[in-house]
Amino acid sequence: MRVLILIKHNQLDQSIVNFSSSLFNGTETEIHLLNIVPTNGEIPLQMNGRVLDFCTEFDLTSYLKQTEVNLNYLKSIEHDMVVERHSYAGNKIGILQDYIRENKIDIVVGGAHKTTAMEDAFVKTYPSRIITKTTLPYLTIKCNRDNFSPQKIGLIGDFTKPSQENFDVIKTIAKRHESEITLIKIQTPSDKRSEEDIKRVMTQFAEVNELNASLKIIKSVDKESGVVELHKDKMIDLIVVARAHKPAFSSLFNHADQESIVNHVYAPILIC
C-alpha cells in the first residue's frame, strides 16, 4: 500500500507521520511525504500543476526557494516507512492529483484544523477541496495521535440498499489492529423507515461486502450531531464515511455534510 501524507510545515506534521506509521505498521506500506507551496493565480503552470520554473516573465525566486527550505524540512522527518519526500510550487489540487496518478497512491492522509463559523461561510478549506476533487480514501486528523490504534471502526451510512463497496483500506487497518467494525445509521426525523427495515439492509450490506460487523442505529436531530455524539461517548475511534457521489453507503451525507464533519469533528475521519 502507498500512503501519501500532505505536509504543511507545522507542529502537527511529525504526529501525522507517527499516526500513519502506527496505523499501517505491520503491513507492506510505503509512505510518501508531499509539501506544496501555493502560488498566485498569475503564475503560469504546467499540466501537472507545478510552476513553469523556466518562465522569465514572472519572478519565481521566492516560491522555488521555499520549496528548497521545505524539502530540507521533509528530510528532517525520519521514519523507516518513508520512501519519498517532495516539495513543489504551484496549484495544490493539480499537483496532488498528478502525484496520486503518477505514483499509484492508495490513500491520502492530512491534517485539518477545526473551523469557525466565519471560515465556514467564506473559506473553502483544503480538506474540503480534496474531498470533492479526488476519489481516493482520504484520512484527516486534527490533533496529536501518536501510536494510534483504532479498536472501534464505525462505518456511517444511510444503507438504502446492499451495494458492494471497496473497503480494502478499512479491512487492512481492521486486520492489523484487530478492530471491531460497526455499521452505523444515524436516523434523523426525515427517515421514516422502521429499525427492522434498516437493520435488514445493513445485514445484507455487511454480507455483500464480507464485513464481520455489528449494527447500530442512532436517533439524532441531525447528522453532524449524531457523529459528534458517537465520538463524545467514545463509541468509535475511527469514523468512516463515503463520498457523496456514491449511491447507497454514503447518501446519508451530501458534500456539505461531509465538509462540515471534517471541519468540526476532532476524531480521525476516513472519507472513502
pLDDT, tens only, 223-249: 778 877 776 777 788 988 876 555 545
9/102 same-domain check: yes
Domain finish residue from 98, 120, 141: 141
pLDDT band at 123 (very low <50, low <70, confident <90, very high): very low
Of 258, 262, 239, which is closest to residue 250 (Cα–Cα)? 258
Q: Is residue 218 part of a domain?
A: yes
Q: Is residue 146 part of a domain?
A: no
* Average pLDDT for 143-169: 84
Count the Cβ atoms, other than its own, within 10 Å of residue 11: 9
Contact 257, 265 (CB under 8 A): no
pLDDT, tens only, 82-105: 999 999 999 999 999 999 999 999
103/184 same-domain check: no
Q: Is residue 147 part of a domain?
A: no
8/110 same-domain check: yes
Q: Is residue 179 part of a domain?
A: yes
- The total number of structural domains in the chain stands at 2
98/159 same-domain check: no
164/127 same-domain check: no
Q: Is residue 99 part of a domain?
A: yes
141 backbone dihedrals φ, ψ, rounded to 5°: -135, 155
230 vs 182 pLDDT, higher one: 182
- pLDDT for 152: 92
C-alpha distances (whole Å) from 79 to each of 16, 150, 172, 230, 268 are 12, 21, 21, 33, 21
pLDDT band at 261 (very low <50, low <70, confident <90, very high): low
25/73 same-domain check: yes
Domain finish residue from 141, 165, 194: 141
- pLDDT for 124: 45
Q: Which domain holds residue 34?
A: 2-141
Helix, strand, or coil here: 111?
strand
87/197 same-domain check: no
Q: Is residue 24 part of a domain?
A: yes
CATH of the domain at 176: 3.40.50.620
pLDDT, tens only, 201-214: 999 999 999 999 99
β partners of residue 218: 186
Give me the chain's average pLDDT, please. 83
Separation between Cα atoms, residue 48 and residue 72, nearest integer Å: 23
263/134 same-domain check: no
114/22 same-domain check: yes
15/121 same-domain check: yes
Q: Is residue 125 part of a domain?
A: yes
206/79 same-domain check: no
182/68 same-domain check: no
Domain finish residue from 94, 122, 141: 141
